[in-house]
Amino acid sequence: MTDTAHALGASRTLWELIDRRAALTPDRTVLIQDDRSIGFGELRTRCERVAAGLYGLGVRPGTVVAWQLPTRIETVLLTGALARLGAVQSPVIPFYRDREVGFALNAAKAEFFAVPGLWRGYDHAEMAHRIGARGVFQAYGDLPEGDPSVLPAPPSEGTSVRWIYWTSGTTSDPKGVLHTDRSLIAGGSCLAHALRLTPDDVGSIAFPFAHIGGADYLVMLLLYGFPAVLFETFALPQALDAYRKHGVTTAGGSTAFYSMFLAEQRRQPGEPVVPTLRLLAGGGAAKPPELYHAVVREMGVQLTHGYGMTEVPMITMGAPDDTPENLATTEGRPPEGMEIRIVDGEVRLRGEAVCRGYLDPEQTAAVFDADGFLITGDLGHLTASGHLVLTGRLKDIIIRKGENISAKEIEDLLHEHPGVGDAAVIGLPDPERGERVCAVIEQPRGAAPLTLEEVTAYLRGAGLSVHKLPEQLEVVAELPRNDTLRKVLKYKLRERFTGADTTSMA
């Protein structure tokens, strides 16, 4: 990490980091989207004006403001404005619907809710009013603005909880994860240090900015003073023109992104799909070693993969100067300040980037051990060189394209279907998604055979988000169970259906 980035990393609050970067390089570009761009100086100025507009609406330090917005310049401005006010912000992933959004707003006691209105054919404002959200306002294009002279002093400390992120984990209802400005700055600093980026790089944010990776990436831009291209929606090959036009040097997000870029490269072998691209990086889902080798061999770029979660956005990360073996088979090493302890094969964590816990105090008490280490539920071991190898998960979650999906939530809904006697939902290895969602069901005697299309239509009707829908359906005579509590043995299902014919996938 450069001396400047190291000094900026000591900022107490996100607003202090925005302010200090603006003073250093006010004219350098920070955000690019379509034909628009904004510099670090303008970012600070616009954020203060939006903060004044929010203040006029009644937002004060400590006010809880939820927002469900796509990846846009305006979304970053809103984030910065709320940081300037010292409000508590709760980002909600844009494709969440009534069930998740309603729970999140109620649990966080959100007093305001920013939505994009009609976006990608879905009326978020109508949903907000349907679920009884308070203080609903649209923030897709125009943001409230005002005179910054009305603003109170910015927050002076960064250890208060000012962020509530949401993760499904192992329960049906999402869990509110509590972060501070300092925990997010620490996470972004770790990521920036591991990737060895420079002010000459051009990054990209092609994933939902409402994901905790959005704040991570913003911190990284502020530390190193380089720009990122924002993608409101991401699809290849449509996005390639923007990558090429703006000379993107580093891209990624999760395993799914690597696979998409590799697929495009294979359509034009020998000709770089993005000539300026030198690095793919990400995390959030398992990375098959063969995918690493294929990317390096066929695309001619480096691939560094890491391990993180909503509770700790950056735990380990592969470094560009790691050996090919470590980059292919491990999750990288922890940065300075991140402690990893392996207890009975389970990974536990302690450090500044670790969250403060959950909105539910009982969940918080259950996730920290007596020494203050976060109990992840992930299984792994450290190599002699300090690299982390993950071997499995105790938590019953599926990580599809970097997003946590609760198996129990889907199972609970499936059990309500009259054509389902019992159900188990599992994640199966998938080269593009990291994992795909597979529903395995027993049917009552005499029930009409169910199809994948019927099951997904039923789940859609029950309000399940699209990204959680099963992509594979298997009907079995009997689910495998143990002999004591008759608990379904999901590992046997994974063994049976991993590598099986996937013609039943949507």
What tens digit of pLDDT does each residue of 356-385 get?
Answer: 999 999 999 999 999 999 999 988 999 999
279 backbone dihedrals φ, ψ, rounded to 5°: -150, 130
Going by C-beta distance under 8 Å and a sequence separation of 6 or more, which residues neighbour residue 123? 117
| Cβ–Cβ < 8 Å for 18, 47 | yes
Q: CA-CA-CA-CA torsion for 30, 33, 34, 36, nearest 10 degrees?
A: -60
Q: How many CB atoms sit inside 10 A of residue 140's CB?
A: 19
pTM: 0.84
d(CA 488, CA 471): 21
Q: Which of 87, 82, 206 is nearest to 144 (CA)?
A: 82
Write down the pLDDT at residue 217.
96
Pick from 25, 277, 270: nearest CA to 257: 277
Domains of the chain: 3-185 (3.40.50.980), 399-497 (3.30.300.30)
Average pLDDT estimate for 44-53: 98
C-alpha distances (whole Å) from 428 to each of 115, 371, 392, 400, 488 are 34, 35, 12, 10, 16
Helices (H), ranges, 275-360? 289-299, 324-329
| The predicted structure's pLDDT at residue 283 | 86
Average pLDDT over residues 325-340: 94
Whether the per-residue pLDDT at 169 is higher than 60: the answer is no
Distances (CA, A) of 65 to 19, 36, 70, 439: 22, 27, 16, 36
Q: What is the pLDDT of residue 170?
A: 41
Q: pLDDT for 416-444, tens place per residue?
A: 899 998 899 999 999 888 999 999 999 98
Confidence of residue 53 (pLDDT cuts 50, 70, 90): very high
Distance from C-alpha of 302 to C-alpha of 25, rounded to nearest angstrom? 29
Of 14-23, 170-179, 205-214, the one with minimum mean pLDDT is: 170-179
Sheet containing strand 434-442, strands side by side: 422-430, 434-442, 472-475
Which pLDDT score is estimated for 501? 53
Of 214-218, 283-287, 458-462, the least confident = 283-287
Answer yes or no: is pLDDT of 6 > 90: no
How far is CA 315 from each of CA 176, 189, 378, rounded to the nearest angstrom? 19, 11, 12
Q: Which amino acid is at 115?
A: V
The band of 402, judged by pLDDT with boundaries at 50, 70 and 90, is confident
Q: Determine what percent of the chain falls in helix, strand and coil, rounding each to the nearest 5.
A: 35, 25, 40
> HEC profile for 306-329?
EEEECCEEEEEECCCCCCHHHHHH
**CA–CA distances in Å: residue 196 to residues 109, 227, 281, 330:** 40, 15, 12, 18
Q: Distance of alpha carbon 313 from its chain centroid, rounded?
A: 8
Residue 370: Cβ within 10 Å count:
5
CA distance linking residue 128 with residue 137, whole number of Å = 10
Could you tell me if 440 and 411 are in contact, meaning their C-beta atoms sit under 8 angstroms apart? no
Sequence-distant (6+) residues with CB within 8 A of 80 are 14, 15, 18, 43, 44, 46, 47, 50, 51
- Whether the CB-CB separation of 41 and 21 falls below 8 Å is answered with no
Output the six-digit token pair for 251. 């891209």
Structure tokens at 141: 């294009």
Tens digit of each residue's pLDDT (9 = 90 or more) over 281-300 = 998 766 878 889 999 999 99
Q: What is the DSSP string of 377-434?
A: EEEEEE-TTS-EEEEEESS-EEEETTEEEEHHHHHHHHTTSTT-SEEEEEEEEETTTE
Chain mean pLDDT for the chain:
92
